[in-house]
Amino acid sequence: MKEIHHWVDGKEYKGTSGRFADVFNPATGEVQAKVSLATKDELDAAVESAARAQIKWGATNPQRRARVMMEFVRLINRDMDKLAEALSSEHGKTFPDAKGDVQRGLEVIEFCIGAPHLLKGEYTDSAGTGIDMYSMRQPLGVVAGITPFNFPAMIPLWKIGPALASGNAMVLKPSERDPSVPLMLAQLLQEAGLPDGVLQVINGDKGSVDAILDSDVIQAVGFVGSTPIAQYIYERAAATGKRAQCFGGAKNHMIIMPDADLDQAADALVGAGYGAAGERCMAISVAVPVGEKTADALIEKLVPRIEKLKVGPYTAGNDVDYGPVVTKAAKENILRLVQTGIDQGAELVVDGRDFSLQGYEEGFFVGPHLFDRVTPDMDIYKTEIFGPVLSTVRAGSYEEAIKLAMDHEYGNGTAIYTRDGDAARDFANRINIGMVGVNVPIPVPLAYHTFGGWKKSGFGDLNQHGPDAFRFYTRTKTVTARWPSGIKEGGEFNFKAMD
Ligand code: NAD
């Protein structure tokens, strides 16, 4: 059985804990590898070593650090297919989708090449008589990244890029469910010229996370995952004086106005609801058609599109729309929630419960589901299902639709489909959700903007990537300087003979 270990001080480090987690091939249901789970002592040792490496890295000029990022971009492009293949085999998403996962992370590394510019401070000449004032952005020291299974390339890259380009060292604790890609990225960074110890990849579970939270050396934690863990990490990190940004779960609504292009909206809903088997924090999981006529017409357009979806292993190539979910437990949880929807009175219009794929009967495939007449009190509405299940909540008016999205505890992403600029503008202004699409179903901001949800989807006040990430990974120091007397007053200007 293949074993996956850690990356410490520029080389593979075999863990000593004797504890492992299973890494599945979600398409076949087989265990394909075992990943080491680090002990607290192993994590602490990696942190100590990172702290030593950070001193020199933090003092390296930003342009040189940016050059490492430049080379890293080249190497990721060189190995794109290899990375995507490893990603698909552990996660289950289709090959083109896996490339998208790598690509969206790569774009943040491209942005980080601008670190010298982003790290510039401010300067006021003559703030007082003979007084100048200036600020500088300094790295925090050692920081940690804790990342989820659903984007095993993109989210580690969102953490690694800004943290390292700012001059920090990072301990990355990726998801134990698909750990190979983060390790490959660490190797590529070494090839790109990153000094050993500046990026440590420690595989582990709750024990490693708690060791990160209790460390006196680690200064900041960037987390992405489910909401209960995000909140736990945010609170525990704050209790030990760490800076924390913790991004959680989602329940993203798409409002479909009566004037929307319904074919366009239906196509968008199918891609955004079922792509990556619904395992995206920006997936649309709730469709909110406004008016009964809109709802009836939308359902009519959705059903044939959903019934045509091709579900299969990534090895089947471009013919597949989405793959299996990540584990058997995830599949069981999705099917359990579907059952609550039926029991609580929602109308199951497309039923994927009996889906089975010949030759892959043990794989974690879940057929697509569409619910109609879902109400806000139902579990399928309140809970993040994280599977290929789209719920339709019929709204009587625009006001009812916007209120629905605003009252939900999550606030990651949302979208409105309409031809009415006034409605779209009002929606974008009033909605209490971090990322808004206008006729765009998955409004993931590009690398030079910032990514972050509101309400229970995000804890902390700075977003991921873009300029916020450089603020998160640096401290501002402001210097007020006066030079009351210098060489110009006390100097001797006449050429004197020696006494
Ligand atoms: P998860 O919360 O189970 O795991 C995330 C990380 O936390 C992993 O590294 C895991 O090892 C660790 N962890 C798990 N249980 C823990 C515990 N009890 N104590 C301490 N650490 C623990 O999330 P997941 O299932 O890997 O990812 C899916 C979730 O992530 C979904 O809720 C999804 O919406 C969310 N997500 C959010 C964003 C965002 O930007 N808001 C992006 C991607 C995914």
Confidence of residue 495 (pLDDT cuts 50, 70, 90): confident
- Cβ 420 under 6 angstroms from ligand 1: no
Same domain, 58 and 185: yes
62 pLDDT more than 60: yes
Looking up tokens 């790290």 gives 119
Question: What letter represents residue 398's amino acid?
Answer: Y
Confidence of residue 499 (pLDDT cuts 50, 70, 90): low
Query: In CATH, what number is assigned to the domain containing residue 427?
Result: 3.40.309.10
Nearest atom within ligand 1 for CA of residue 453 = 41
Residues 6+ away with beta carbon under 8 Å from 246: 221, 222, 223, 224, 230, 231, 233, 234, 237, 458, 459, 460
Question: What letter represents residue 423's amino acid?
Answer: A
Same domain, 173 and 99: yes
Distance 148 CA to ligand 1 centre (A): 4
Query: In CATH, what number is assigned to the domain containing residue 175?
Result: 3.40.605.10
Same domain, 202 and 318: no
pLDDT for 196: 98
Distance 117 CA to ligand 1 centre (A): 32
- Cβ 435 under 6 angstroms from ligand 1: no
- Cβ 150 under 6 angstroms from ligand 1: yes
**Residue 444 included in any domain:** no
Distance 136 CA to ligand 1 centre (A): 34
469 pLDDT more than 90: yes
Nearest atom within ligand 1 for CA of residue 205 = 11
pLDDT for 463: 98
64, two tokens: 């040189």
348 pLDDT more than 70: yes
- Domains in the chain, number: 2
CA distance 333 to 339: 10
Same domain, 347 and 415: yes
**Residue 452 included in any domain:** no
Residues 435-443 have a mean pLDDT of: 98
Residue 410's nearest CA partner among 439, 437, 389, 431 is 431
Cβ-contact 177, 326 below 8 angstroms: yes
Q: Which residue's CA is the nearest one to ligand 1's atom 24?
A: 148
Nearest atom within ligand 1 for CA of residue 175 = 9
Residues 6+ away with beta carbon under 8 Å from 352: 366, 367, 368, 369, 388
Residues 6+ away with beta carbon under 8 Å from 422: none
Residues 6+ away with beta carbon under 8 Å from 42: 6, 13, 15, 16, 17, 202
Distance 458 CA to ligand 1 centre (A): 12
- Cβ 156 under 6 angstroms from ligand 1: no
CA distance 47 to 215: 8
What is the set of active-site residues? 281
pLDDT for 93: 97
**Residue 165 included in any domain:** yes
Residues 293-314 have a mean pLDDT of: 98
CA distance 4 to 73: 25
Q: Which residue's CA is the nearest one to ligand 1's atom 28?
A: 225
Q: Which residue's CA is the nearest one to ligand 1's atom 17?
A: 206
Nearest atom within ligand 1 for CA of residue 412 = 41
- Cβ 405 under 6 angstroms from ligand 1: no
139 pLDDT more than 90: yes
Confidence of residue 112 (pLDDT cuts 50, 70, 90): very high
- Cβ 245 under 6 angstroms from ligand 1: no
- Cβ 248 under 6 angstroms from ligand 1: yes
The residues facing 322 across adjacent strands are: 311
Same domain, 298 and 215: no
Confidence of residue 488 (pLDDT cuts 50, 70, 90): low
Cβ-contact 73, 110 below 8 angstroms: yes
Judge residue 239's burial from the number of C-beta atoms within 10 Å of its C-beta, 0-12 exposed, 13-18 middle, 19 or more buried: exposed
Same domain, 183 and 318: no
Q: Which residue's CA is the nearest one to ligand 1's atom 6?
A: 148
Same domain, 181 and 238: yes
**Residue 443 included in any domain:** no
487 pLDDT more than 80: no
Furthest CA-CA distance within the chain: 105
Residues 161-177 have a mean pLDDT of: 98
Same domain, 160 and 270: no
334 pLDDT more than 70: yes
What DSSP assignment string belongs to 299-320? HHHHHHHHHT--B--GGGGGG-
Confidence of residue 497 (pLDDT cuts 50, 70, 90): low
Which stretch of DSSP H or E encloses residue 432?
Answer: none
- Cβ 175 under 6 angstroms from ligand 1: yes
CA distance 174 to 342: 36
Same domain, 316 and 367: yes
**Residue 391 included in any domain:** yes
Looking up tokens 């009190």 gives 377
321 pLDDT more than 90: yes
pLDDT for 496: 63
First to last CA, the chain: 85
Distance 495 CA to ligand 1 centre (A): 73
Judge residue 291's burial from the number of C-beta atoms within 10 Å of its C-beta, 0-12 exposed, 13-18 middle, 19 or more buried: middle
Which stretch of DSSP H or E encloses residue 471?
Answer: helix 466-472
Same domain, 222 and 200: yes
251 pLDDT more than 60: yes
Residue 25's nearest CA partner among 244, 257, 315 is 315
- Cβ 152 under 6 angstroms from ligand 1: no
**Residue 264 included in any domain:** yes
Radius of gyration of the chain (CA): 25
165, two tokens: 């380009």
467, two tokens: 């300029």
Same domain, 368 and 396: yes
- Cβ 166 under 6 angstroms from ligand 1: no
| Mutation to probe ligand 1, out of 159, 175, 472 (largest number of atoms < 8 A from CB) | 175
Q: How many residues does the chain have?
A: 499
Cβ-contact 102, 84 below 8 angstroms: yes
**Residue 208 included in any domain:** yes
Nearest atom within ligand 1 for CA of residue 228 = 2
Distance 175 CA to ligand 1 centre (A): 8
Q: Which residue's CA is the nearest one to ligand 1's atom 20?
A: 206
438, two tokens: 């206008």
Same domain, 306 and 429: yes
Confidence of residue 221 (pLDDT cuts 50, 70, 90): very high
DSSP letter (8 states) at residue 345: T
pLDDT tens for 356-405 read 999 999 999 999 999 999 999 999 999 999 999 999 999 999 999 999 99
- What is the domain range of residue 168? 2-248+466-480
**Residue 495 included in any domain:** no
- Cβ 147 under 6 angstroms from ligand 1: yes
Looking up tokens 């309140």 gives 382
